[in-house]
Structure 1
Amino acid sequence: MLLDAEVASRNCEGELCEARPDPLMIARRFPDEHHALTCALFAYGSAKAIVSFLTSLELASGDSDEETLRYRLEGKYYRFQTTEDIVQWFITLQRLRESGGAEQAFREGYAKDGVIAGVSGLIETLYALNPYRSQGYEFLIGKPVSAVSKASAMKRWMMYLRWMVRRDALDMGLWSGIKASELIMPLDTHTFNVSRALGLLQRRQCDLKAAMELTETLRTFDPEDPLKYDFALYRIGQEKMTLAL
């Protein structure tokens, strides 16, 4: 299958470069689940703008006291997030680390009811750790899933899980004991449009149900690792390639 060939050709460190920027290239500089979470949640907008912003943040900001955070992040903003939103995010992240970390918070929900429950539990933990609220801050973190039929695709969260669970030349595989076969496709506009054009997806709305439908289709190609196709599908759309299965 031509898609498998595309996956193989993309699965190399050279795929993450300045010419083809991706937030994963910043996440991989410091393999840490909390640094990666920052990279994933700010991964909306153009890839070039995302990488530029993440590069400017300084990893050290995540281990600083509030006074130092405010000094280092003064004047920083990104699209919907103000400087205060960004400061508060790093405060929340510090508290998450101190409370046991992202993987532990995810596993509590995951053990009960799978990936979606795990993500929802982690989101709920983040909100419980910090009472700060604003439109930009809540957009950054997102909402727990109350009903699949009403949920967004949760692309940034599903991408984060891909980074944490899978291990290859691209994904870091920092977590263990979570099955790659249970992951859900990180569905954005590029992947949605390419998947429909290739006949992999029938649903017309880019939401969580579509992400789950696409994942089921890809499981027919590889039941153990359906998300190995994610990066290739994304790049095909991003680069406006023509590909027939």
Structure 2
Amino acid sequence: MNKKDLKDFLDAKVYLYNKPDFIDSDPIQIPHLFSKKEDIEIAGFLSATIAWGNRKSINNNAHKMMQLLDQAPYDFVVNHKDSDLEKLESFVHRTFNGTDFITFIKGLQHIYLNHDGLESVFKKHAQKASLQKAIHNFKHTFFEIQHLPRTQKHISDPLKNSAAKRINMFLRWMVRPNNTNVDLGIWTSLSPAQLSCPLDVHSGNVARKLGLLHRKQNDGKALADLDASLRLLDPNDPVKYDFALFGLGVFEKF
């Protein structure tokens, strides 16, 4: 398949999957429950953090997170007392447990009270065509609070050769415009051109079959390889092809 045919094929798949129906089975449904900017981004960040494993389980546990935060995540994050955190101790999603959840609430409080919020932290270290360094610096800022070393594993670091799938997915949700009522597009200080594809087993396998990715591992080097290929197809919005790659892999078993 030549470049034009490949672009036409993938553009058609983007059109097919980048629609509200996509939300029904995806954790992006969680931030869509809210209308306030801070609620949306906190709900999105927490939902993306646990977005590995069975999709039904992810969605169920992300809803449970919001219930534990009284369906008001920003108010809970900023105004909670230590006694309010006790009910979070029982939460578990795979290796993300109650201790991790409590640490994340404290980390988010630190971000909002001392660093002007999530968008501000990512914007501070954003590069013209990449947010991978910004993710690295965000992780450092997030864990300025007291924490157990085990909790750090729940935020990946691209500068340590991680593909950082979940946090790249979160950034897609926040930055890509809400033109089709799927992504939320509430962070206008960043551009879709800076985004990277949330690389996972599905998108990686499809990308390899289409010749967009050649590295066998789904790591940071593979993400850079895939980024370069997708930017050739659309330098202004390369991560839109996440819908095509993921849809082909999950829904069409391509």
Common fold, TM-score beyond 0.5? yes
Counterpart for residue 111 of structure 2: 96
Judge conservation of contact 1:61–1:90 (CA < 8 Å) in 2: no
- Say if 2:229 is the partner of 1:217: yes
Counterpart for residue 125 of structure 1: 141
Judge conservation of contact 2:129–2:195 (CA < 8 Å) in 1: no
Provide the rounded CA distance (Å) in 2 between the counterparts of 1:78 and 1:40: 12
| Structure 1 residue ranges (4+ consecutive) displaced by more than 6 angstroms after TM superposition | none
The amino acid across from 2:217 in the alignment is Q
Judge conservation of contact 2:13–2:243 (CA < 8 Å) in 1: no
Choose the corresponding residue for 2:204, options 178, 187, 192: 192
Judge conservation of contact 2:42–2:73 (CA < 8 Å) in 1: no
Counterpart for residue 106 of structure 1: 122
Aligned CA distance change for structure 1 residues 189 and 111 (closer, same or farther; 3 Å): closer
Counterpart for residue 187 of structure 2: 175
- Say if 2:15 is the partner of 1:3: no
- How far off its partner does 1:29 sit? 1.3
| 1:61-97, Cα deviation, whole Å (9 max, x unpaired) | 55132211212x2421111122122122112212212
State percent identity of aligned pairs. 32
Judge conservation of contact 2:175–2:184 (CA < 8 Å) in 1: yes
Provide the rounded CA distance (Å) in 2 between the counterparts of 1:2 and 1:37: 31
Q: Structure 2 stretches of 5 or more lacking a match?
A: 1-7
The amino acid across from 1:234 in the alignment is F
Provide the rounded CA distance (Å) in 2 between the counterparts of 1:231 and 1:11: 6
Matches within 5 A, 1:21-40: 21-31=25-35, 32-40=40-48
Counterpart for residue 174 of structure 2: 164
Counterpart for residue 48 of structure 1: 56
The amino acid across from 2:49 in the alignment is L
Counterpart for residue 98 of structure 2: 83
- Give secondary structure in 2 for the equivalent of 1:171: coil
The amino acid across from 1:42 in the alignment is I
- How far off its partner does 1:111 sit? 5.6
Provide the rounded CA distance (Å) in 2 between the counterparts of 1:26 and 1:86: 17
- How far off its partner does 1:230 sit? 0.4
- Give secondary structure in 2 for the equivalent of 1:212: helix
- How far off its partner does 1:114 sit? 4.6
The amino acid across from 2:28 in the alignment is L
Matched length: 232
Aligned CA distance change for structure 1 residues 67 and 60 (closer, same or farther; 3 Å): farther
Relative to the length of structure 1, the TM-score reads 0.87
Q: Structure 1 stretches of 5 or more lacking a match?
A: none
Relative to the length of structure 2, the TM-score reads 0.84
Provide the rounded CA distance (Å) in 2 between the counterparts of 1:16 and 1:111: 29
Counterpart for residue 3 of structure 2: none
Aligned CA distance change for structure 1 residues 15 and 189 (closer, same or farther; 3 Å): same
- Say if 2:22 is the partner of 1:15: yes
Larger mean Cα displacement after TM superposition, 207-216 or 31-40: 31-40
